[in-house]
Protein backbone atom coordinates (compact mmCIF):
# COMPACT_ATOMS: atom_id res chain seq x y z
CA UNK A 1 0.00 0.00 0.00
CA UNK A 2 1.47 3.37 -1.05
CA UNK A 3 1.27 6.39 1.18
CA UNK A 4 0.88 9.76 -0.43
CA UNK A 5 1.90 12.96 1.32
CA UNK A 6 -0.98 15.10 2.58
CA UNK A 7 -2.08 18.01 0.41
CA UNK A 8 -0.50 21.35 1.18
CA UNK A 9 -2.45 23.95 3.13
CA UNK A 10 -3.27 27.15 1.30
CA UNK A 11 -3.08 30.18 3.57
CA UNK A 12 -5.65 32.97 3.41
CA UNK A 13 -4.46 36.32 2.08
CA UNK A 14 -3.40 38.88 4.67
CA UNK A 15 -6.44 41.13 4.16
CA UNK A 16 -9.15 38.46 4.03
CA UNK A 17 -12.02 38.15 6.50
CA UNK A 18 -10.98 34.56 7.18
CA UNK A 19 -7.49 35.61 8.31
CA UNK A 20 -8.99 38.36 10.47
CA UNK A 21 -11.52 36.07 12.14
CA UNK A 22 -9.07 33.30 12.91
CA UNK A 23 -6.39 35.75 14.09
CA UNK A 24 -8.64 37.37 16.73
CA UNK A 25 -9.35 33.95 18.28
CA UNK A 26 -5.86 32.49 17.77
CA UNK A 27 -4.67 32.61 21.36
CA UNK A 28 -7.93 32.13 23.25
CA UNK A 29 -7.29 29.11 25.41
CA UNK A 30 -9.67 26.26 24.54
CA UNK A 31 -10.01 22.69 25.71
CA UNK A 32 -9.42 21.33 22.20
CA UNK A 33 -8.03 22.94 19.02
CA UNK A 34 -11.31 22.26 17.24
CA UNK A 35 -13.10 24.50 19.75
CA UNK A 36 -10.91 27.40 18.60
CA UNK A 37 -11.57 26.53 14.95
CA UNK A 38 -15.31 26.51 15.58
CA UNK A 39 -15.09 29.87 17.35
CA UNK A 40 -13.06 31.31 14.46
CA UNK A 41 -15.62 30.01 11.97
CA UNK A 42 -18.48 31.57 13.94
CA UNK A 43 -16.69 34.92 14.08
CA UNK A 44 -16.03 34.68 10.33
CA UNK A 45 -19.69 34.00 9.51
CA UNK A 46 -20.70 36.93 11.69
CA UNK A 47 -18.19 39.21 9.95
CA UNK A 48 -19.32 38.02 6.53
CA UNK A 49 -23.10 38.29 6.98
CA UNK A 50 -23.52 40.58 10.02
CA UNK A 51 -26.68 38.69 10.95
CA UNK A 52 -27.47 38.84 14.64
CA UNK A 53 -24.90 39.86 17.21
CA UNK A 54 -21.33 38.84 17.85
CA UNK A 55 -22.44 37.46 21.20
CA UNK A 56 -25.00 35.20 19.52
CA UNK A 57 -22.31 33.97 17.11
CA UNK A 58 -19.95 33.17 20.00
CA UNK A 59 -22.69 31.34 21.89
CA UNK A 60 -23.59 29.37 18.76
CA UNK A 61 -19.97 28.23 18.45
CA UNK A 62 -20.28 26.31 21.71
CA UNK A 63 -16.58 26.87 22.36
CA UNK A 64 -15.30 25.10 25.46
CA UNK A 65 -12.75 27.36 27.07
CA UNK A 66 -11.16 28.02 30.43
CA UNK A 67 -12.33 31.65 30.24
CA UNK A 68 -15.79 32.91 31.07
CA UNK A 69 -18.13 33.96 28.28
CA UNK A 70 -17.76 37.58 29.39
CA UNK A 71 -13.96 37.38 29.14
CA UNK A 72 -14.11 35.83 25.67
CA UNK A 73 -16.51 38.54 24.48
CA UNK A 74 -14.31 41.27 25.96
CA UNK A 75 -11.22 39.89 24.21
CA UNK A 76 -12.99 39.57 20.86
CA UNK A 77 -14.58 43.01 21.00
CA UNK A 78 -11.25 44.62 21.94
CA UNK A 79 -9.38 42.87 19.12
CA UNK A 80 -12.04 43.63 16.52
CA UNK A 81 -12.05 47.28 17.59
CA UNK A 82 -8.26 47.36 17.24
CA UNK A 83 -8.67 46.02 13.69
CA UNK A 84 -11.23 48.73 12.90
CA UNK A 85 -14.34 46.51 13.02
CA UNK A 86 -17.51 47.26 15.05
Domain boundaries, the chain: 18-82
Q: What is the pLDDT of residue 3?
A: 87
Share of the chain above pLDDT 90, in %: 64
Cβ burial 47-77 (10 Å sphere, 16+ → b, else e):
beeeeeebeebbeebebebeeeeeebbeebe
Query: CA-CA distance, 70 to 76, in Å (whole number)?
Result: 10
Mean pLDDT along residues 45-60: 92
Q: What is the pLDDT of residue 1?
A: 62
Query: Who wins on pLDDT, 68 or 7?
Result: 68
Tens-place pLDDT, residues 13-28: 878 888 999 999 998 9
pLDDT at 86 over 80: no
Amino acid sequence: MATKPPPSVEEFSQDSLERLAYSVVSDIETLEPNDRNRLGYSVWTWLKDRKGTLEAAVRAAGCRTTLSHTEVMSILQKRLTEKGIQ
